[in-house]
Chain A
Amino acid sequence: QKEVEQDPGPLSVPEGAIVSLNCTYSNSAFQYFMWYRQYSRKGPELLMYTYSSGNKEDGRFTAQVDKSSKYISLFIRDSQPSDSATYLCAMKGTGNTGNQFYFGTGTSLTVIP
């Protein structure tokens, strides 16, 4: 079983739609959760990060962590064509789990004008 599972998509939505991107994980020791956005031919760009459970909002983006279900989500409201990219989730533990980051395979998103 992979440490992190992410639906690769591709996901195609009309402009203005609400987008939901999700990852599941198996290691209950993960404490830090991140979302990266990667445009074509670019490196991953940190979009959101949260610690433990709960929600975090930043503009049109909301990150949710449900540790009881081992499930994290990224919501994009009022999606724009400029949001078209691959979104990767990542997570990290503490202490004995080491400092290694575990990444999902990425979900490809296209927002159609």
Chain B
Amino acid sequence: SAVISQKPSRDICQRGTSLTIQCQVDSQVTMMFWYRQQPGQSLTLIATANQGSEATYESGFVIDKFPISRPNLTFSTLTVSNMSPEDSSIYLCSVWGTGAMGAQYFGPGTRLLVL
């Protein structure tokens, strides 16, 4: 399994501002994933961060709102831009494990509250 850390663990932000969330993995991985988890809802995939290329965004998520960087095989950032209270959520970074089945492993999450 991979060990994943995220910074910050939580933050309270004002609407209209931006927050960058960092994700660090203890091993090199090809793909990293960013999810959003809102109360009472299933995990929602925001985008897949590929090293050396642009991130791939899921329907309903756009690069201007959630720019992603992937400078190397162990690190990625997700920025939540021009925040509104609707962006209040837990943001999770994840990677695939090694092996044939490739189960996903998650970081501890970043709790974001937008006022």
Do B105 and A105 have beta carbons less than 8 Å apart?
no
Q: Which residues of B contact A43 (CB under 8 A)?
A: 4, 6, 92, 106-109
* Complex interface residues of chain A between 75 and 113 (CB less than 8 A to chain B): 88, 90, 100-106
Do B42 and A106 have beta carbons less than 8 Å apart?
yes
Which chain B residues have a beta carbon within 8 Å of chain A's beta carbons? 1, 4, 6, 40-43, 45, 92, 97, 101-109, 111
Which size class do A's interface residues fall under? Answer: 20 to 34
Do A105 and B41 have beta carbons less than 8 Å apart?
yes
Q: How far is the CB of A20 from chain B (nearest CB, A)?
A: 20
* Contact among B42, B103, B104, B109 for A42, CB-based, below 8 A: B109
Do B45 and A100 have beta carbons less than 8 Å apart?
yes
Annotate A11-48 by CB proximity to B: 1 below 8 A, 0 otherwise: 00000000000000000000010101000011111100
Do B104 and A46 have beta carbons less than 8 Å apart?
yes
- Identify the 5 closest CB pairs spanning chains A and B, nearest first: A43-B106, A103-B42, A103-B43, A43-B108, A43-B109
Bound Cα distance from A6 to B42, whole angstroms: 9
Bound Cα distance from A106 to B35, whole angstroms: 15
Q: How far is the CB of A81 from chain B (nearest CB, A)?
A: 22
Bound Cα distance from A46 to B6, whole angstroms: 17
Bound Cα distance from A87 to B43, whole angstroms: 12
Q: Which residues of A contact B4 (CB under 8 A)?
A: 43
* Contact among B42, B101, B106, B107 for A32, CB-based, below 8 A: B101
Bound Cα distance from A78 to B106, whole angstroms: 27
Look across to chain A and name the residue whose beta carbon is closest to the beta carbon of B43: A103
Bound Cα distance from A90 to B104, whole angstroms: 10
Do A105 and B40 have beta carbons less than 8 Å apart?
yes
Annotate A42-70 by CB proximity to B: 1 below 8 A, 0 otherwise: 11111001010000000000000000000
Q: Which residues of B contact A46 (CB under 8 A)?
A: 1, 97, 103-105
Bound Cα distance from A49 to B45, whole angstroms: 20
Bound Cα distance from A34 to B104, whole angstroms: 9
Q: Which residues of B contact A44 (CB under 8 A)?
A: 43, 92, 106
